[in-house]
Amino acid sequence: MRGGGRARNGGGPIMAAGGRSWFGVLALGVSFLKCLLIPTYHSTDFEVHRNWLAITHNLPLSQWYYEATSEWTLDYPPFFAWFEYALSHIAKYFDPKMLVIENLNYSSHATIFFQRFSVIFTDILFIYAVHECCRCVNGKRSAKDILEKPTFILAVLLLWNFGLLIVDHIHFQYNGFLFGLMLLSVARLCQKRYLEGALLFAILLHFKHIYMYVAPAYGIYLLRSYCFTANNADGSLKWRSFSFLHVILLALIVCLVSALSLGPFIVLVMTPSPLPSVFCLWFKPQGPRGFLQCLVLCALSSFMFGWHVHEKAILLAILPLSLLSVQRAKDAGIYLILTTTGHFSLFPLLFTAPELPIKILLMLLFTVYSFSSLKSLFRRDRPLLNWLETIYLIQLVPLEIFCEIIFPLTSWKLQLPFVPLLLTSVYCALGVTYAWLKLYISVLTEHVSVRQKAE
């Protein structure tokens, strides 16, 4: 990653030969696929968000977080509540009955149509954020074929991300525009537009509290790269370069956003705790790439302690790791392990028969593309995976066959119904843990290596 606004090798990194925008084609293609997924199964999260529409539309602000007619009470930060409030004023033109608080589990065709399309429409922010991230990818690896360009591969890995597709557009949630805010903030930091990046992340925290997981990476990176304006020749911190003005500006942004969000509700702001990777980010920041590594490690470290509390949080690590995967072969290998096992761990979320071929086909297509594109991109480097890692990933195939085909035919289905979930979770945990350790070792090794060279 680099700080400039444009990638080298051509004035526009998202323009194909002849001036046609391949990025637009990718975005329209995935949007069309999302429309095709509208009739698919949806989880209880569909009712959760319908209820939140009803709560924010009918009740005064003081009662939003106390209404308990439904068990799915409003439990997201205030900005998301205001987001639901805004949607509710459009929803009333589709089917006013969806906004009746007592209409529990209400799902008319108009309601399904509206809620599904609200996710697709708000994904415009995610698409724009991916566009900006592609502008930040450096152009060291030139390729005549557009399919082998890092910007093209990154765009596909993000726009067509399997996990995000099934979680938002089948299972049903609004992660797309939230990840859009995160990726856009990452892009702004890579472009050295620090205040914009800080503002976007502060806003994001007040949409969904789970992004607090990666707050340490943002805090340390902004302090190290923005509040200290210069380094010594060896890359170490120049303490005299500390800027009180920059600290005040950052604090002002955070305080203003927090006051706007939390002021009316009088709630407490929790302070995140420093990880070892955060110390590396402080002492040897290594620019945007170091920030992204720390961000991914913060996300994975938090995920390790709350797997079954929020299994979808694996996307918080997979998506930013996509930006690193097109930069170095080592990171590409870690990405392939994490994205394959992480996406496979989401399979139990879609447990109905009609969605079985959909989830298998989508993951198969995304995985095949991930492996083939990254292998092509780093064809001159060492193999992306060793033989043990390859064998581990291949074993996901017989695991899926057993869980989805063989096990339902046995007598164990009634006696031990949670065996498939147990096997999937344990086996995927090995891969996720391995990827986490491998990335951590890589970051710490780089830190030591840079320090030794400086000495």
Q: Are residues 72 and 147 in the same domain?
A: no
Query: pLDDT below 70 — which residues of the chain?
Result: 1-20, 139-143, 234-235, 263-273, 275-286, 306-310, 447-455
Going by C-alpha positions, the residue among 312, 280, 314, 315 that lies closest to residue 294 is 280
Q: What are the angstrom distances between the C-alpha of 163 and each of 88, 193, 265, 366?
A: 27, 29, 33, 10
Domain count, the chain: 2
Q: Are residues 265 and 333 in the same domain?
A: yes
pLDDT given at position 270: 33
Mark which of 67, 84, 106 sits at the end of a domain: 106
pLDDT given at position 134: 94
Mark which of 57, 73, 106 sits at the end of a domain: 106
Residue 2 located in a structural domain: no
pLDDT given at position 143: 64
Q: Are residues 74 and 147 in the same domain?
A: no
Residue 400 located in a structural domain: yes
Prediction pTM value = 0.81
Q: For residue 387, give every residue at least 6 positions away whose Cβ sits within 8 Å of its Cβ, in sequence order, or none.
A: none
CB 286 within 8 A of CB 227: no
Tell me the three-class secondary structure of 83-145, residue by residue: HHHHHHHHHCCCCHHHHCCCCCCCCCHHHHHHHHHHHHHHCHHHHHHHHHHHHCCCCCCCCCC
Going by C-alpha positions, the residue among 185, 149, 138, 173 that lies closest to residue 46 is 173
Residue 187 located in a structural domain: yes
Residue 6 located in a structural domain: no
The first and second tokens of residue 79, run together, are 């900005």
Q: Are residues 74 and 167 in the same domain?
A: no
Q: Are residues 101 and 181 in the same domain?
A: no
Residue 240 located in a structural domain: yes
Q: Are residues 349 and 399 in the same domain?
A: yes
pLDDT given at position 235: 67
Q: Are residues 257 and 274 in the same domain?
A: yes
Task: State the Cα–Cα distance between residues 87 and 81, nearest whole angstrom.
Answer: 10
User: How close are the terminal C-alpha atoms of the chain, in Å?
Assistant: 26
pLDDT given at position 117: 97
Q: Are residues 141 and 218 in the same domain?
A: yes
Q: Are residues 125 and 221 in the same domain?
A: yes
pLDDT given at position 2: 47
pLDDT given at position 189: 94
Going by C-alpha positions, the residue among 131, 102, 168, 180 that lies closest to residue 27 is 131
Q: Are residues 77 and 174 in the same domain?
A: no
Q: Are residues 245 and 317 in the same domain?
A: yes
pLDDT given at position 272: 37
Q: Are residues 215 and 299 in the same domain?
A: yes
Residue 247 located in a structural domain: yes
Instruction: Find the domain containing 80 and state its range.
Output: 45-106
Going by C-alpha positions, the residue among 177, 157, 155 that lies closest to residue 168 is 177
DSSP string, 261-278: HHGGGT-PPPPPPPPHHH
